Structures are given as structure tokens and as C-alpha cells.
Amino acid sequence: MYLHQRDNWWTFTYDSKVVMNALGRVRAKQGLMLGRMQSLGFDFQDEAMLTTMSLELVRSCEIEGEMLNLTEVRSSIARRLGIDTAGLVPASRYVDGIVEMLLDATQHYDQPLSDDRLFGWHNVLFPSGRSGLYKIDVAKYRSGAMQVVSGAMGHETVHYEAPAPERVPDEMRLFIDWVNTDAGTDAVLKAAIAHLWFVSIHPFDDGNGRITRAITDMLLARSEQSSKRFYSMSNEMKIRQKEYYAVLEKTQRGDGDITEWLLWFLDCFDRALSSTENTLAAVLAKARFWERHRNLTVNSRQRKIIDMQFDGFFGKLTSGKWAKIGKCSTDTALNDIKDLVNKGVLKMNDEGGRSTNYSLIIE
């Protein structure tokens, strides 16, 4: 028996004491992380958000076996949020569409969920009306049965069977009403419950996992009352993908007690918060650098190329590269470099002659 086959199955139960203890710890870490990120300047916050949102979208699609170009995703997000960044490339119509889904979920986190909003998200995932070779119902709830299976044809293993299609509209009405009106559940806990609840209904022919994680991001944004995203839940779920599917399947076949799922979700959230330091290492290093050099006078070329050193756009810094990137003469490039050497920002590396190159002094 699956969860949805039980009477009033959405009245989930859990060990409140155990779950609340875990929730308290992760909420405290969430607050510390947000405080730290909000202490950065707005430009660095935007850059951090661009990094984490790009990672979130790419990893969410990877969980479903779909590979996106990270540079395209990053460029699409930057353009839509008006973030000035180097290395922008054109993005496909499809990438632009799924970026719109994530931004609608997170930038408009305070707007109510609705059938139409979900249908819009589904439409951008499948603009051609097909999933691979197969025609599917798009921007509407599924009209057929839904099973989650694995294995070769003729030897499939059924991991989950979703509610019958005729039940889906009523199930979604209950779910959407709860998302929009329930104010008694902590918002992080609500994100965990909503994740399980939506994926249990599996209302669409395809794309349910990606939309589930968009809803999760929306509710986590509500938990912070902020559209700025500084961590990626999908990245952690991708790292722990086997566990993710296993705990979902076990909970689906359980007796309605979802304690194990909630604890797993909160642990995943905890790890996502801890990973912020690694994910945003370059952004944080850049912020620390400019804080130390807050009284440093530099021109626009110098600032641009210093920033690019943190972003890893090129290897060894030479006067030739400086001239090309800064769109200036070699003499002007040398003057820029010597000025920064004299100010203790750059140092000449050991190689000399035609191999002369420089690197940032990062304390």
C-alpha cells in the first residue's frame, strides 16, 4: 500500500520532538549563513546568487538525467536579473524557459501557488509538447496512469505508482490550498512536506521532479522572506541521489509516519548550508580582497581584470593578456600592472623575459 491509498493520507504524522530538535539546529545555521551573506556588498550578493542559482538549476536537471550547459544557464540568469558579469553567452530558448521557471518560483516566492502557475512551469519544461520521442500532456494534469520504473524492458521494477488520473485535480486542490493557507507549519518544514506531497501526487506526465524542487526552492525562499538564494538543495540531492530516491520510496510505502523523510531533508538542507563556503569560495575570496583594499584607487580596467583573476577566466596574467582583455595598448597594460605592483596588489612571478607574468597577492 502506498501513502496515497490511505484515508486522509495527507494528514502526515511525525515524531515532533525529534524533528523539532533537528529543525532548530538547521534554522540556527540558516540564520548565521544569511547574516554572513547579507554583510557582503550588493554586487557580491548578486554574484553569489548567480553562482548558486545556476548550480541549483543544472543539478536539478541532472537528477532527471538531463545535462544543461552551466555557462548558458548562468548567462540567462544574469540577463534576467540584470547582473553585470563577464563571459555571457547566448542561451537556448529551452534554457531561457527553465530559468524563467526557477526565477518565478524564487523571485516571486510570496505569490500564491495555482494550477495556472504550475502549468506555466510545465510548459517551459516541454515547449515542443514531447518528452524525448513521446508526445505528452503539457500545461495540464496527466490523463493517464503514472508509474516510476527502472530496469530493461520486460524486466522493469516498479518503484512507485501514483494516484489514478481522475484523482489528480482534487489532490492538487488540497495541496495548493495547504501551500497557500497553512500558516501553522514552520516554512522549512513546510518545504520538506510539500516536496513529499507533490511528488506523491505526481500530477504531470513528466517533469514532476524538477517542479517539485522548484516548489521546494519557493518555500525555502519564503522561510527567509528573501529572493536571494545562497545555497543549492538540488546540488546536495544530486550528491546523495541514491539516498534521495531510497528514502522517498521507503516513505511512500510506509504507514504515514514521515519522520525519516523529514530528518533526511533537514540533514540535506544542513549540508547545503555548509556547502555554501565551498560553492561560493571565489565570491567570498573576492569580497575579502576588496574589503582589505577598500581604500585602493584603481581604474576600471584594473578592477575588471583583478575580479577576473578570482573567476578563473584565464591562467597566467601577462601584459599581453591584460592589453587584450582591457582593450588597451601594451604600454598602457604595463603601466596598469606596475601601478598595482607598487601598491602591493600584484607580484611578479619567478619566470622572466618573454615569460614574465604576475599574480595577485592574496593574504
Task: For the beta carbon of residue 253, count every other beta carbon within 10 angstroms.
Answer: 12
Amino acid 238: pLDDT: 95
* pLDDT score, position 36: 84
Same domain, 195 and 322: no
Instruction: Classify residue 254: in a domain, yes or no.
Output: yes
Looking at residue 312, its pLDDT comes to 65
* Residue corresponding to grid cell 536537471: 61
CA dist 283 and 268 (Å) reads: 23
User: For the chain, how many structural domains are there in total?
Assistant: 2
**Do residue 92 and residue 181 come from a single domain?**
yes
DSSP string, 3-53: GGGSTTTTS-B--HHHHHHHHHHHHHHHHHHHHHHHTS-HHHHHHHHHHHH
If asked whether residues 274 and 315 sit together in one domain, one would say: no
Phi-psi region of 154 (alpha: psi -120 to 50; beta: other; left: phi over 0): left
Q: What is the pLDDT of residue 363?
A: 67
Contacts of 70 (CB under 8 A, 6+ apart): 54, 55, 58
Residue 1, pLDDT score? 85
Which residues of the chain, if any, have pLDDT below 70? Answer: 86, 151-152, 154-155, 311-315, 352-354, 363
Query: What is the C-alpha R_g of the chain?
Result: 24
Do 52 and 181 reside in the same domain of the chain?
yes
CA angle 47, 239, 77 (to 5 degrees): 25
Domain region containing 318: 297-360
Backbone φ/ψ region at 357: left (φ over 0), alpha (ψ -120 to 50), beta? beta
Q: Are residues 253 and 160 in the same domain?
A: yes
Tell whether 84 and 188 lie within a shared domain. Answer: yes
Residue 42: per-residue pLDDT: 82
The verdict on 49 and 186 lying in the same domain is yes
Reported as a single tens digit per residue, the pLDDT across 35-72 is 888 888 788 888 889 989 999 999 999 999 899 999 99
Could you give the CA distance from residue 85 to residue 77 in angstroms, rounded to a whole number?
11
Q: Report if residue 287 sits inside a domain.
A: no
Asked if 64 and 210 touch (Cβ cutoff 8 Å), the reply is yes
Same domain as 133, residue 74 = yes
User: In this predicted model, what pLDDT tens digit does every residue of 137-193 receive, in sequence order?
Assistant: 999 999 999 888 776 676 677 888 999 999 999 999 999 999 999 889 999 999 999
Question: What whole-number distance in Å separates Cα of residue 73 and Cα of residue 54?
Answer: 6
For 346, the enclosing helix (H) or strand (E) is: strand 346-348
Give the torsion through C-alpha atoms of 228, 233, 238, 240, to 10 deg.
150
Q: How far apart are CA 211 and CA 254, in angstroms?
A: 24
**Distance of alpha carbon 83 from alpha carbon 76, whole angstroms:** 10
Domain check: are 121 and 189 in the same one? yes
In a domain, 253, yes or no: yes
Same domain membership, residue 99 and residue 221: yes
Q: Is residue 48 included in any domain, yes or no?
A: yes
What does each C-alpha distance from 105 to 55, 118, 226, 227 come to in angstroms? 16, 10, 12, 9
For 205, the 3-state DSSP assignment is coil
Same structural domain for residues 315 and 204? no
Residue 143, Cβ density class (10 Å: 0-12 exposed, 13-18 middle, ≥19 buried): exposed
- Show which of 227, 249, 281 is a domain's final residue: 281
232 contacts: CB under 8 Å, gap ≥ 6: 52, 53, 55, 56, 59, 272, 275, 279
Boundary of a domain, candidates 281, 309, 344: 281
What's the CATH code of the domain at 308?
1.10.10.10
| Residue 133 belongs to a domain | yes
Indicate which CATH number applies to the domain containing 32: 1.10.3290.10
CB 83 within 8 A of CB 52: no
Question: Which DSSP helix (H) or strand (E) runs through 308?
Answer: helix 300-311
Question: Final residue of a domain: which of 235, 252, 281?
Answer: 281
Q: Residues in the chain, how many?
A: 363
> Does a structural domain hold residue 288?
no
How far apart (Å, rounded) are the C-alpha atoms in residues 213 and 207? 10
> What CA–CA distance (Å, rounded) separates 142 from 226?
33
Count H helices, E strands: the chain? 16, 6
Q: Are residues 197 and 249 in the same domain?
A: yes
pLDDT at residue 354, as a whole number: 65
**Has residue 286 been placed in a domain?**
no
Residue 302 lies in a domain: yes
